[in-house]
């Protein structure tokens, strides 16, 4: 989830357009559920990760400071103060995450390796967010943890079938997460998978 958001080609727009789509045939069935997931799951999850980086100290490069040591003249200081007091514009401070989210997404057809170039070029502007992106995007997509998750997905809600295809496994893992946090009820999950995959589930409380 966080890795998808940190991809400048996708950001939050991916979840808005696709939600938790687990295959084309599931799109209509999941559309109603997706409306709640942006505010109840996606944004809180990203904010939770960002909280670990938001307050970390940043070491500014030496060349970013005023090396001349020249102090502004009296007139320059006075004019600056007057303009700042009388200016009708109020600058609202946004943190790095908010600035990133406000910028346009990058072209989706660009080279995937350009994602790393994007963050390398913005590390000075968003040092904390750049570190977060580097660590999240650096996690290998194919890992032992993800393999265990897919294996576990084959035994969710009482299903244990080695012939389940990846699409069904992905759907089961998503539905299990929603069921655990109360976004969907047991009967809804059972009815959904029975309709789509003709699978009879044994759910807790039945």
What percent of the chain clears pLDDT 70, i.e. is strictly above it? 50
DSSP 82-103: HHHHH-S--PPP--HHHHHHHS
pLDDT at 32: 52
pTM recorded for the entire structure = 0.53
pLDDT of 95 reads 93
Would you say 185 and 192 are in contact if contact means Cβ atoms under 8 Å apart?
no
Tell me what the mean pLDDT of segment 50-56 comes to.
92
Q: Does residue 19 carry a pLDDT above 90? A: no
Q: Can you tell me the mean pLDDT for 89-108?
A: 82
Handedness of CA 182, 187, 190, 193 (dihedral sign): negative
pLDDT, mean of residues 6-35 = 66
Sign of the Cα torsion 111, 118, 136, 172 reads negative
Quote the mean pLDDT of the chain.
70
Most confident of 29-38, 56-65, 67-76: 56-65
Other Cβ atoms within 10 Å of 188 Cβ, number:
15
For residue 81, the model assigns a pLDDT of: 56
**Is the pLDDT reported for residue 20 higher than 60?**
no
Of 119, 143, 151, nearest to 133 (Cα)?
Answer: 119
Q: Residue 86, by phi and psi: left (phi above 0), alpha (psi -120 to 50) or beta?
A: alpha
Instruction: Please tell me whether residue 141 adopts helix, strand or coil conformation.
Output: coil
pLDDT at residue 182 in the model: 67
Residue 6 · residue 152 · CB < 8 Å: no
- What is the predicted pLDDT for the residue at 125? 94
């Amino acid at each position: 989830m966080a890795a998808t958001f940190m991809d400048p080609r996708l950001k939050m727009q991916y979840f808005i357009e696709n939600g938790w789509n687990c295959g084309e045939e599931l799109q209509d069935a999941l559309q109603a559920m997706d409306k709640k997931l942006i505010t109840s799951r996606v944004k809180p999850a990203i904010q939770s990760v960002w909280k670990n980086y938001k307050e970390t100290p940043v070491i500014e490069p030496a060349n970013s400071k005023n090396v001349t040591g020249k102090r502004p003249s009296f007139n320059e200081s006075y004019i600056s103060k007057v303009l700042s007091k009388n200016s009708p514009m109020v600058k609202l401070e946004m943190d790095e995450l908010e600035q990133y989210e406000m910028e346009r997404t990058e072209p989706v057809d660009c080279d995937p390796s350009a994602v790393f170039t994007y963050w390398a070029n913005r590390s000075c502007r968003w040092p904390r967010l750049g570190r977060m992106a580097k660590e999240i995007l650096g996690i290998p997509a194919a890992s032992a943890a993800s393999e265990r998750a897919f294996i576990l997905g084959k035994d969710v809600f009482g299903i244990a079938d080695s012939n389940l295809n990846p699409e069904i496994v992905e759907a089961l893992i998503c539905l299990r997460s929603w069921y655990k946090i109360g976004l969907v009820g047991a009967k809804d999950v059972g009815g959904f998978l029975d309709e789509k995959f003709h699978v009879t589930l044994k759910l807790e409380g039945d």
